[in-house]
Chain A
């Protein structure tokens, strides 16, 4: 196929189009990127939202008690004492939300790192080596790409009896990499043909160093955006798994809050404060990440800058 590959993927229907590979060499360019970065409203706004939630997830749990303890009156609506109300059992919804945020960031980060690393390794190797190695890797990528990821995750999570958030993050990470590999392979292909790579090769640099020293830095901006997309996608996957009861059995997460709210009929009992906040938090974090992504795209790709 000669058509440009869309960089959308299993990680949410986000299409970051095909960003031109920004040449990030030289401090001048870097300073220019920073100049546009701090002036990009999408980037700054998105980042602000993410940071607020991140801080809440990091610091919040220290300020509230055990999220599962029965502390208040059952099914109480939001009040001064319990700003987000309590669950059927009298658990503090705010405490659950803060602990849940932590789990959400953990899942997103770990899964995105795993998927990112696998995707990069497969993509770089295939793209740079070409030939039979590429054929095989590309075949594997395509196979995993076509598998309906959520269905696979369900099967695995159902049998594995996921205990904690980390295991869940690993499973999600292991199945989210194919589109990354594919996109990076394409990018590597085009970069491989550039002069500076040829130069490096002529100077006798080993392959690994060429990839990581010469090619990867040139895709740094792109890789960062990939990470953001993977993060958002993993958070949504985790929430979905938690919701259908395949989440971690220990602790609390935003998806588990939704799961509990449904199982204990929060909707029928009118306890909106139980199911609105967790979903809102997920939407806000992932949405802010996506908006940040657009901002980044504009920063690194001058053509898209608002004039």
Chain B
């Protein structure tokens, strides 16, 4: 009897283990390779998707499954931030026919993957969706008058007040959706619907998804093969959900992932360590700069409402320590203007030399003294001008380990200069909450990515008007009408008028560098670690390798990363 027990338990456990398979299964695979995606024809990626893929809605550009825009839905143009060039994609051409009118012509014989042709009607329809309040590009209709299809392939847009920079941003960033499948959808479906079985026009089609992955299969009839001469190499693109960087690193080292766009600490050592790992630069900082991490002071609160105090604070931050010790040199210090290296030409170097700042604790101390902040109670920390104690907190979302650690370093530096600053790590949602409502002292933020125009950064710094809830720009609630007028002037500058842009930007930077409404600290990397074991010819800054942004992050495929898939080569079989 006792023996029977034993077998029963064993049987039970084996049965249970087996039972798991039945529940998870069901989808995926067209039978090729006997239940697995053939390794040599599959690209495994990770680092965009933090939870299960649950929607394929290109309008929800903050949450769609990795690849929804770029692999499936496409944009009119591509913009390569590394070269600053626009490249016609769905569009054959797009031009301002006069100051207020823009005409875009589509390529010939484009089709959706359900066989319907892509026409100017689809483009007009997509722009019209922006009239819905909750569509992210609703702002467009503040300066756009009308959108109309002139013929099958040509759409015309008439602007009441042309904003060339913003429109240029739209044409490469926002995907076109098929009118015939979307025209009956309600606003809720458009901005919060899952859009299962996405029908797009791109080089890949939906294949399968599961809690931990999104699988795309190559679209053999993609228009770009002929029109662009581009052939995407991987038959399957499998994007794996990894919520922890540690898991992603483990899979990358095991060769299970080809491209990891996670922040992987310690990668600098591994690149040198013979793991067949590849990064864009072969030495520090290893990664391209993707966005600027800003320290945002709440300019409505004393003493942060005092530019002199903000300047002292800026001087107290040991950015070098953050770059070297926290990040292990995979990031680089930011320019005092906060503009990314790709916008180097827009930075007025002489002005930065004159008005900029750098880490210097003593300078921070003397700035505080000059501005009238003194240590009246002898605790080594300065008080407000009225004698009340200064107690500032820097909030970073808990679990954002690199930021939490950096915040600690910032607080340490501030204390050394005599500013009582402590680091706090509330939940992510709490940080979002206080960021929007303005109920904070200092936060870190890096939402603005590399883009087609520095206008995006300056709008972010100076955006007005201040509302009850600041959702996307100017979290520090810095009010400067003159600066905001200049930002709008920049927006209305034509994108090929570089000299005009530079002049406005230089004036804006003079305000920015004297007032310090936000304090740029370091450039976050375009985290990208590739394995050469299955695919090679990853983007790099040297040799014959393609110069492209090597990432699957949302919004980056239309920044040129899609071409990376066509440049890949299968690794030599050993």
A–B in direct contact per CB < 8 Å: yes
Which residues of chain B from 320 to 339 have a CB within 8 Å of any chain A CB? Answer: 321, 325-326, 328
Q: Which residues of B contact A2 (CB under 8 A)?
A: none
- Are A249 and B398 touching (Cβ within 8 A)? yes
Q: Do the beta carbons of A268 and B325 come within 8 Å of each other?
A: no
Contact with A along B261-289 (1 / 0, CB 8 A): 00011100110000000000000000000
A161 / chain B contacts, CB cutoff of 8 Å: 398, 426-427, 430
Given A70-B321, A89-B325, A90-B325, check contact A265 B266 (CB 8 Å): yes
Q: Is B245 an interface residue (CB 8 A)?
A: yes
Q: Does B408 contact A (CB under 8 A)?
A: yes
Residues in A neighbouring B425, C-beta threshold 8 A? 249
Q: Are A268 and B249 in contact (CB-based, < 8 A)?
A: yes
Cβ-defined contact, B266 with A68, below 8 A = no
Identify which of residues 407-450 in chain B touch chain A, using a CB-to-CB cut-off of 8 Å.
408, 424-427, 430
Q: Does B84 have its Cβ within 8 Å of any Cβ on chain A?
A: no
List A82-101 residues whose CB lies under 8 Å from chain B.
88-90
The reply to whether the CB of B362 lies closer than 8 angstroms to some CB of chain A is no
Q: Is the CB of A89 within 8 A of B405?
A: yes
B253 touching A268, Cβ below 8 Å: yes
Bound CA–CA A273/B264 (angstroms): 20
Question: How far does the Cβ of A99 sit from chain B's closest Cβ, in whole Å?
Answer: 15
For the complex, is B472 an interface residue (Cβ under 8 Å from A)?
Answer: no
Q: Scan B248-259; emit 1 where CB is below 8 A from any A CB, else 0.
A: 011001000000
Task: Count residues of B near A (Cβ-Cβ below 8 Å).
Answer: 25
CA distance A264 to B266 in the complex (A): 8
Known: A88-B266, A245-B398, A268-B250. A263 touches B244 (CB 8 A): yes
Please tell me if B399 contacts chain A, counting CB pairs below 8 Å: yes
Cα(A75)–Cα(B427), bound, Å:
29
Known contacts A89-B325, A89-B326, A249-B424, A264 near B398 by CB under 8 Å: no
| In contact, A263 and B401 (Cβ under 8 angstroms) | yes
Q: Which residue of B lies closest to A259 (CB)?
A: B401
Within 8 A of B (CB), among A261-285: 262-265, 267-269
Q: How many Å from the CB of A86 to the closest CB on chain B?
A: 11
Contact B328 A74 (CB under 8 A): yes
The interface residues of chain A, by DSSP majority, are classed as loop
- Contact across chains for B328 and A245 when beta carbons are under 8 A apart: no
Which of A23-77 touch B at CB < 8 Å?
68, 70, 74-75
B246 within 8 A of A: yes
A residues in contact with B399, CB < 8 Å: 245
Cβ–Cβ contact A262 & B326, under 8 A: no
Residues of B within 8 A of A264 (CB): 246, 265-266, 401
A267 to B265, CA, bound (A): 12
Q: Are A269 and B401 in contact (CB under 8 A)?
A: no
A267 to B253 alpha-carbon distance, docked (Å) = 12
Q: How many residues of A sit at the interface, in one of the four size bands?
A: 10 to 19
Distance in angstroms between the alpha carbons of A68 and B425 in the assembled complex? 16
Q: A89-B326, A268-B253 are in contact. Are A262 and B246 (CB under 8 A)?
A: yes
- A265–B408 Cα distance when bound, in Å, is 20
The reply to whether B269 and A267 contact each other, CB–CB distance below 8 Å, is: no
CA–CA, A158 and B408, complex, Å: 21
B398 CB contacts on chain A under 8 angstroms: 161, 245, 249
**Closest residue to A261 on the B side, CB-wise?**
B246
Q: Which residue on B lies nearest to A159, using beta carbons? A: B427
| Whole-angstrom distance between the Cβ of B419 and the nearest chain A Cβ | 19
Q: Bound complex: CA of A84 vs CA of B264, how far in Å?
A: 24
Bound CA span A264–B405, Å: 11
Compute how far the CA of A267 lies from the CA of B266 in the bound complex, rounded to whole angstroms: 11
Q: Chain B residues near A268: list those with CB within 8 A.
A: 246, 249-250, 253, 266
Instruction: Judge whether B264 and A265 touch: CB under 8 Å.
Output: yes
**Alpha-carbon distance between A89 and B321 when the two chains are bound, in angstroms:** 10
Known contacts A88-B265, A245-B398; is A265 also within 8 Å of B328 by CB? no
A70 touches B325 (CB 8 A): yes
Query: Contact residues of B with A, CB < 8 Å?
Result: 244-246, 249-250, 253, 264-266, 269-270, 321, 325-326, 328, 398-399, 401, 405, 408, 424-427, 430
**Apart from A74-B328, A161-B427, A265-B266, what are 9 other A-B pairs with CB-CB below 8 Å?**
A70-B321, A74-B325, A90-B325, A161-B426, A264-B246, A265-B246, A265-B265, A268-B246, A269-B270
Q: 23 A–B contact pairs at CB < 8 A?
A: A68-B408, A90-B325, A158-B427, A161-B398, A161-B426, A245-B398, A245-B399, A260-B401, A262-B246, A263-B244, A263-B245, A263-B246, A263-B401, A264-B401, A265-B245, A265-B250, A265-B264, A265-B266, A267-B246, A267-B250, A268-B250, A268-B266, A269-B269
A contact residues vs B (CB 8 Å cutoff): 68, 70, 74-75, 88-90, 158, 161, 245, 249, 260, 262-265, 267-269
